[in-house]
Amino acid sequence: MPGFQIIGSIAILKPGVPKKEGQEQARKILKTLPRIKSVYRYSGHVKGELRIPKVSYVAGRKNPVTIHKENGCFYKLDIMRMMFSKGNVLERARIPKLVKPGEVIVDMFAGIGYFSLPLGKYSPARKIYSIELNPVSFRFLKQNIKLNHLEGKIIPIKGDCRTVKIPEKAERIIMGYLPKTCKYLPHAFSLLKPGGIIHYHDSFRKEELWEVTERILRDYAGRKGFYPIRMEKRVVKQYAPGIFHVVIDAEFRKTSQPEPRKSRG
């Protein structure tokens, strides 16, 4: 039965399935997959900066809240009010392996904890500041921190990623948002330590890879007194026809750093 996604105990039919066909498909899913309790369908595009999906009920239990398990982490979410992209699963597993002991990390678009939870559970980071603007997602983020027993290591902050403040600079910043992620780069650099790393996600047309993506990072870094010394680029998945979701792991230095003061003898 192709054409659906499973999140926790819910199956979500992909867009474009006619109503009658979707109801028939839902009956088959509920009959053959006992762990599936509800069937919904994507009925439109994701909307706005808060990335709210358009999802409608089809069959089974009428409850859009579920707990999804991925890589040993538990994600409680409402599928009608927030996205869960299973296409990012490898990326969520990759980042914790890059973290060095004692790092401070900022997750600028934390959502329900997509990156923060595996970072908190599997990385040797000292602290993770998880920033989320959507009040519903923020409520689930706090629940998921408790659900995964990560209180104290993950610090949830409700706020706008263009203005929010944290009490210390970060060695690593996750920018797991798209499209047009560049508008958040100025504030990302204000939170970054010299020598720090930004994991920059965005979407680009095939012909823009990788010249445009590199130029964006160099331009925005230069405006904030940084320059990239290393950029590792990879395609996460195809986002739309001819458009790709990419991530660049970029390490930055300050363009001018003061010489260390000599001690007075």
Question: What pLDDT, on a 0 to 100 scale, did the predictor assign at position 260?
Answer: 41
Sorting pLDDT into bands at 50, 70 and 90, what band is 265? very low
pLDDT tens for 84-131 read 887 789 999 999 999 999 999 999 999 999 999 999 999 999 999 999
C-alpha to C-alpha distance for 173 and 165, rounded to whole angstroms: 13
Percent of the chain as helix, strand, coil, to the nearest 5: 30, 35, 35
Question: What pLDDT, on a 0 to 100 scale, did the predictor assign at position 21?
Answer: 87
Give domain limits for the chain: 4-63, 86-254
CATH number of 4-63: 3.30.300.110
The rounded mean pLDDT for the chain is 91
Tokens 């707990």, located at residue:
67
**Residues 53-79, mean pLDDT to the nearest whole number:** 94
Using CA atoms, how far residue 139 sits from 34, 65, 132, 236, in Å, is 29, 13, 10, 28
Q: Would 4-63 and 86-254 be classified into the same CATH topology?
A: no
Task: Domain 86-254: give its CATH architecture.
Answer: 3-Layer(aba) Sandwich (3.40)
**Phi and psi at residue 100, in whole multiples of 5°?**
-95, 155
Sorting pLDDT into bands at 50, 70 and 90, what band is 46? low
108 CA to centre of own chain = 8
Statement: residue 184 has pLDDT above 90: yes
pLDDT tens for 122-168 read 999 999 999 999 999 999 999 999 999 999 999 999 999 999 999 99
